[in-house]
Structure 1
């Protein structure tokens, strides 16, 4: 008996089954910032000493501390997420959330119009990997800025992740 047709059939069935599996979708995200926080903020992923991943309904929660740097045990939430599935809030002392609706993801020109824009905005959202001499590993992170366009242009509360890592003990990500 010729085994080639059976092998081809089994291979084809395996490929169809593998292709039919749905890839994991990224989770919706909610970013919680201290009330009136202005400046750069970071999320460092896969850090053993970090906060465990929290969820609210279907959304992953990132509760940014006053330092502007959140260490999380969670992995980067990779993939494309629809804009309506990513929310940013200031959290008042009484726990009430105030949504930050402005988003800016391109370069920002220093113009009078931008300097006078009163809309509170989230800037950036880029993913990076930092290798710093003060730590023996590379760390995946996301970086953002929250404030007015004038705040960004003036560099208000801007700090580099390397500055933070130089001043704070850090445990390398789990392998």
Structure 2
């Protein structure tokens, strides 16, 4: 009888564990929809640096965050990182010309429908999303950043187009003042 009682307790414990794990999975934070505006013809590494008190203020179109990437390829913003899960349909990438006209871009050329000659992969610039991470020290602070590369398949693997965040800040002359007071803002 004691043996059956222990099996019953194990079943209850197992079911409780499964329910706990499943309920933890349903509490995944959703990210806000996002629009990325990238200068037309841009090729190479892009960075968005978050939580910079002197960075650009938040910008929205409806419910979507707007990240307007400057020609330097490094956007320093006051916004917090957009952490969490997001549906791919809620993320939009655009090339923007000098008059503000937007041309939609695809994320990753592997997802682009190619014609029968496979030439689109070599001529169509796409976005390869690297992800969210921390880098530092940058002017004495650890920064939260998101990185991307833009280009055709061959441009995205050409080392002259790929800069790490340190080189991007240095070579693109990103103003050090944008990083003032940032160390106090770093999430630990």
- Residue of structure 1 equivalent to 2:157: 153
The separation in 2 between residues aligned to 1:158 and 1:140, in whole angstroms, is: 19
Stretches of structure 2 that go unaligned for 5 or more consecutive residues are 1-23, 111-117
Contact 1:48/1:174 (<8 A) preserved? no
The separation in 1 between residues aligned to 2:143 and 2:109, in whole angstroms, is: 25
Shift of 1:44: 0.1
Stretches of structure 1 that go unaligned for 5 or more consecutive residues are 1-18, 106-112
Q: TM-score, normalised by structure 1?
A: 0.74
Aligned length: 147
Considering fraction of residues, name the structure with more helix: 2
- Residue of structure 2 equivalent to 1:16: none
Q: TM-score, normalised by structure 2?
A: 0.70
Among candidates 79, 82, 89, match of residue 77 of structure 1: 82
Distance 1:76 1:154, change over 3 A: same
RMSD: 2.5
Contact 2:29/2:85 (<8 A) preserved? no
The separation in 1 between residues aligned to 2:69 and 2:121, in whole angstroms, is: 27
Q: Specify the SS of the correspondent of 1:162.
A: helix
